Amino acid sequence: MANNDSIKKTITVALLLCIVCSVVVSTASVVLKPLQIANKELDFKRNILAAAGLLEEGKRVDDLFGAIETKIVDLETGQFSSDIDAASYDQRAAVKDPKLSDALSAEEDLASLSRREKFAKVYLVNGDSGLEKVILPISGYGLWGTMYGFLALEADMNTVVGLGFYDHKETPGLGAEIENPKWKALWEGKEIYSSDGSVAFTVIKGSVAPGSAGAQYKVDGLSGATLTSVGVDHMIKFWLGENGYSVFLNKLKAGEA
Ligand SMILES: Cc1cc2nc3c(=O)[nH]c(=O)nc-3n(C[C@H](O)[C@H](O)[C@H](O)COP(=O)(O)O)c2cc1C
Which atom of ligand 1 lies closest to the CA of 230?
11
Ligand 1 atom 26: residue of nearest CA: 224
CA of 223 from ligand 1 middle (Å) equals 9
| Backbone φ and ψ of 39, nearest 5° | -65, -40
CA of 46 from ligand 1 middle (Å) equals 28
Instruction: Average the pLDDT over 232-255 and give the result.
Output: 96
Averaged pLDDT score across all residues of the chain: 95
Domains of the chain, residue spans: 1-66, 67-253
pLDDT over 70 (residue 2): no
Which atom of ligand 1 lies closest to the CA of 222?
26
pLDDT over 90 (residue 3): no
Please report which confidence band the pLDDT of residue 206 belongs to, taking 50, 70 and 90 as the band edges.
very high
**pLDDT for 240:** 98
**pLDDT for 48:** 95
pLDDT over 60 (residue 1): no
**pLDDT for 4:** 78
**pLDDT for 124:** 97
pLDDT digit string (tens) for 50-102?
999 999 989 999 999 999 999 999 999 999 999 999 999 999 999 999 999 99
State the Rg of the chain over Cα. Answer: 23
In angstroms, the first-to-last Cα distance of the chain is: 84
Please tell me which residue, 166 or 5, carries the higher pLDDT value.
166
Ligand 1 atom 25: residue of nearest CA: 226
- Contact criterion met (CB below 8 Å) for 227 and 175: yes
CA of 172 from ligand 1 middle (Å) equals 10
CA of 226 from ligand 1 middle (Å) equals 7
Q: Which residues line ligand 1 (CB under 6 A)?
A: 143-144, 170-171, 174-175, 223-228
Is the overall model pTM greater than 0.85, yes or no? yes
- Contact criterion met (CB below 8 Å) for 50 and 167: no
DSSP 170: P
pLDDT over 70 (residue 13): yes
d(CA 240, CA 219): 16
Which atom of ligand 1 lies closest to the CA of 205?
26
Count CA atoms within 13 Å of residue 254 on its CB side: 10
